[in-house]
Amino acid sequence: MFYLLDIIGTMAFAMSGALTAMNKKMDPFGVFIIAFVTALGGGTLRDVMIGNTPVGWMKDLNGVYAIILAFLLAFIFRNRFDKLRTSLFVFDTIGLGVFTLIGIQKGIDIHLHPVICIAVGTMTACFGGVIRDILCNEIPVIFRKEIYATICIIGGIIFFLLKKLNFEDDIIYLMTSSIIIIIRLMAVKFKWSLKPIVNKS
Amino acid sequence: MFYLLDIIGTMAFAMSGALTAMNKKMDPFGVFIIAFVTALGGGTLRDVMIGNTPVGWMKDLNGVYAIILAFLLAFIFRNRFDKLRTSLFVFDTIGLGVFTLIGIQKGIDIHLHPVICIAVGTMTACFGGVIRDILCNEIPVIFRKEIYATICIIGGIIFFLLKKLNFEDDIIYLMTSSIIIIIRLMAVKFKWSLKPIVNKS
Amino acid sequence: MFYLLDIIGTMAFAMSGALTAMNKKMDPFGVFIIAFVTALGGGTLRDVMIGNTPVGWMKDLNGVYAIILAFLLAFIFRNRFDKLRTSLFVFDTIGLGVFTLIGIQKGIDIHLHPVICIAVGTMTACFGGVIRDILCNEIPVIFRKEIYATICIIGGIIFFLLKKLNFEDDIIYLMTSSIIIIIRLMAVKFKWSLKPIVNKS
C-alpha cells in the first residue's frame, strides 16, 4: 500500500517536472531528465548525504520505470494538461506526504537526531523541485513563496511528537501523512504563502 | 592505450570548458574550475552516486595534472581557438566515447542493472557539461538541442547487445566507442538535433 | 578555541548568506536554506566527495544550532546590516581561514596527496558561496573577480611548506590561518581582484 503511494507520488512529481521542462522548450532528453530529477532528485541527494550508496534508484528500478511511464504519459497528454491539473495536484500532494515520511524513516534507521531526520524528510520531498528549478535556470520556487517545505517540517514535528506519545508506527505514518496532505490542500485552497523578508539596508 | 584516450578526452573537455568560461569573462580561478568540472564533473557525480569515494580524481592525480596542462594550453592559445576548433572537436568526441565506456564499466563492476549502467555511462560523459552550464548560469545545452546524450544511450544499448552476443570485451569496447564517435561526427556534419517537445496547454 | 572559531565562522557565513537571500526577496524558508548552504555547503560537498557520510552536520548538531541562531540574528538586525558590516566581514574572514584548515586536515586524515588536500580545503571554505550563488541564480562571484579562493590556495601551499620544514602542528595552524586572514584583509583594503581572461576568438 505504502509502496504503491510511493510510486504514485513519483509519477506525479515526474509528470509535473516534465510539464515544467516542456514549458521551457526542452528537447525529449531534457524533458526526461527534468522529470527524473523532480521525482528522484530529493531522494538521491538524501542518499548521497547519508551515505546510502549506490543511491536508491540504482538498486530498485521500479522508480525508474515509473518515471519512464510518467514521461510517456506526459508526452501523450501534453496538450491536455489543463484537464489533468486537478488529479495531478492530488497525486503530487500524496507524494509530498509519502516522500517526507520515507526520508524521516531513513534518518531514524541510521539513528540520526530528530531535528536532522526532519531535515532529511524535507529534503527528500522538496529538493527534487529545487534541482529542477536550478536546471531550468530559475530561483527555486520553494525559496520564494511556496509553503511546500514548511508543511513538511510541520509534518515532521508532528511525527516525533506522536512518537514521543508512544503511538504505534502505523498510526504515526497515517496521521503524519494525512496532516501533511490536508495542510497542503488547505494552503492551496486558501492561497497561503510565505512573504519575503523585507530589509532596508 | 585506453588510459591515453581517457587523458586526451579529459584535456579536450577541459579546454572546451575553459573556452566557455573565458567567453563568460571569468577570472583565472573561474576558468580553471569550469575546465575542471567540465572534464571531471560527470565522473565525480557518478562516483558520489555509486559510493566510490574518495572520488576518482582524489586518488589518481593524472586527471588533475591533465586539466592543469589543458588550462595552460587554453590560456596560451586563447586567441587562436578558431584554428584549434577542429582538432578540439575530434578529441572531444573521443572523450565522449571513452567516458561513456568507463562509466558503463564502473556500473558493471558493482553489478548494477544494464539500464542503470547505461545511465551511469551517459552521466559520466555528459553531466560535466551540465554542471558547467549551471555554473555559467545557462540552461544545460544538452537539454535543449544537443544530441550528445542520446548518442551515449545508443552506444550503451549497443554495448549490452554485443555483450549478450558474447563478443570479447576488447571488441565490445572498440565497437561501442567507434559507433559513438561515428554517430557524433555524423550528427555534427548533418546537423542532427533534437526538437523541443511543444505543448499547447 | 579552534572549535569556537569554527562556530564564529559558521555564523558569519550564515549571516552573509541570509543577507544575500533577503536582497533576492526570498521567503523565510529560502533565507534559512541559503544561510545554511553558505555556511555548511562547502563542508557538505567535501564530506560527500571524500566519503565521510552521514555528512558532518548530521552528526554534530552545533553547526545547525549556530545557523538557526545566525538566521534569527539576521532577521532581527535585518535593517541594521550597514552597522554590522565591518564585524561581519572580520568574522567571515576568520571563517575563511578556519574552514580552509579544517578541510586540509580532513584530507590529511585520509592520506590524500597535498595537492588534493589544498583543493579540499579551498572547497570547504569557498564552495558554500558557490552553491549559494547558484541557488540565487547568479554566476558564482568567486569565478568572476573575488580573490577569495586564491587566498585559500596560497594558505594551503604555505601549510605544506611549513609541514615540510617540520614545524609543530599548532604553529602551522596559527601561521596558516593568520596568513589567510591577513592577505584577505589586505585584498579588501587595497582592492585586489582577479581580472577576467580576455580572448578574442
Q: Are B129 and B142 in contact (CB under 8 A)?
A: yes
Query: Which of B28, B58, B135 is facing C140, going by the closest CB pair?
Result: B135
Q: Give residue C67's pLDDT.
A: 96
pLDDT band for C188, please (50, 70, 90 cuts). confident
Checking if the pLDDT of B201 tops 60, the result is: no
Nearest Cα residue in chain A from C82? A201
- A21 near B CB under 8 A: yes
Whether a cis peptide bond, with omega within 30° of 0, leads into C28 is no
* C113-130 per-position pLDDT tens digit: 999 999 999 999 999 999
Would you place residue A91 in the very low, low, confident or very high pLDDT band (cuts 50, 70, 90)?
A: confident
The Cα B24–Cα C196 span in angstroms is 9
**Residue A1 binned pLDDT confidence (cut-offs 50, 70, 90):** low
Position A60 scores a pLDDT of 92
User: For residue C196, which residues of chain B lie inside 8 Å, CB to CB?
Assistant: 22, 25-27
Give chain B's mean pLDDT. 90
pLDDT band at C92 (very low <50, low <70, confident <90, very high): confident
Residue C201: per-residue pLDDT: 54
Average pLDDT over residues B111-127: 96
Taking a contact as any Cβ pair under 8 Å apart, which residues of chain B between 75 and 114 contact chain C?
75, 78-82
pLDDT of B199 strictly over 80: no
The set of chains that have 3 or more CB pairs under 8 A with B is A, C
- Residue C200's pLDDT is 64
Is B164 near chain A, with CB under 8 Å?
A: no
Chain A CA closest to residue C60: A113
Q: Is the pLDDT of residue B140 over 80?
A: yes
Query: What integer pLDDT is reported at residue C1 of this predicted model?
Result: 66
With bands split at pLDDT 50, 70 and 90, how would you rate the model's confidence at C161?
very high
Q: Do C110 and B54 touch (CB under 8 A)?
A: yes
**Of A138, A200, A201, Cβ closest to residue C137:** A138
pLDDT of residue B200: 63
User: B60: pLDDT confidence band, cut at 50, 70 and 90?
Assistant: very high
For residue A2, the model assigns a pLDDT of: 72
Percent above pLDDT 70 for chain B: 99
| Among A116, A104, A86, residue whose Cα is nearest residue A177 | A104
pLDDT in tens, A170-188: 899 999 999 999 998 888 8
Give the pLDDT score at B195.
79
> Which of chain A's residues have a Cβ under 8 Å away from the Cβ of B152?
none
Contacts of residue B86 in chain C, CB cutoff 8 Å? none
Measured between beta carbons, which residues in chain B are less than 8 angstroms from residue A30? 140, 142-144
Q: How confident is the model at residue A67, as a pLDDT?
A: 96
Structure confidence at residue A201 (pLDDT): 54
In the block, which residue shows the cell 538535433? B193
B29, C198: Cβ pair inside 8 Å?
no
> Distance of alpha carbon A78 from its chain centroid, rounded?
22
In contact, C92 and C7? CB cutoff 8 Å: no
Lowest mean pLDDT among A151-155, B4-8, B128-132, C38-42: B4-8
Q: What is the pLDDT of residues A43-68, one digit of tens each?
A: 999 999 999 999 999 999 999 999 99
Selection from A3, A132, A112, A99 nearest residue A51 by Cα:
A112
Distance from CA of A193 to the nearest CA of C (A): 9
* pLDDT of residue A125 exceeding 90: yes
Determine whether the interchain pair A135/B137 forms a contact, defined as Cβ–Cβ distance below 8 Å.
Answer: no
Q: Which of B29, B34, B55 sits opposite C150 (nearest CB)?
A: B29
- Contact A200/C at CB under 8 A: yes
Is a pLDDT exceeding 80 seen at residue B72? yes
Greater confidence (B49 vs C198) lies with B49
> How confident is the model at residue B1, as a pLDDT?
66
Q: Do A196 and C82 touch (CB under 8 A)?
A: no
CB atoms within 10 A of CB C191: 7
Q: How confident is the model at residue B49 (pLDDT cuts 50, 70, 90)?
A: very high
Kindly list the residues from chain B whose CB atom is less than 8 angstroms away from the CB atom of residue A34.
Answer: 143
Q: Residue C64: list chain A partners with CB under 8 A.
A: 115-116, 119
Model pLDDT for residues C39-69, shown as the tens digit of each residue: 999 999 999 999 999 999 999 999 999 999 9
Nearest to A64 by CA among B115, B143, B45: B115
- All residues of chain B having their beta carbon less than 8 Å from the beta carbon of residue A49 are none
Per the CB < 8 A criterion, the answer to whether B14 and A17 are in contact is no
How many Å separate Cα C197 from the centre of its chain? 25
Mean pLDDT of chain A: 90
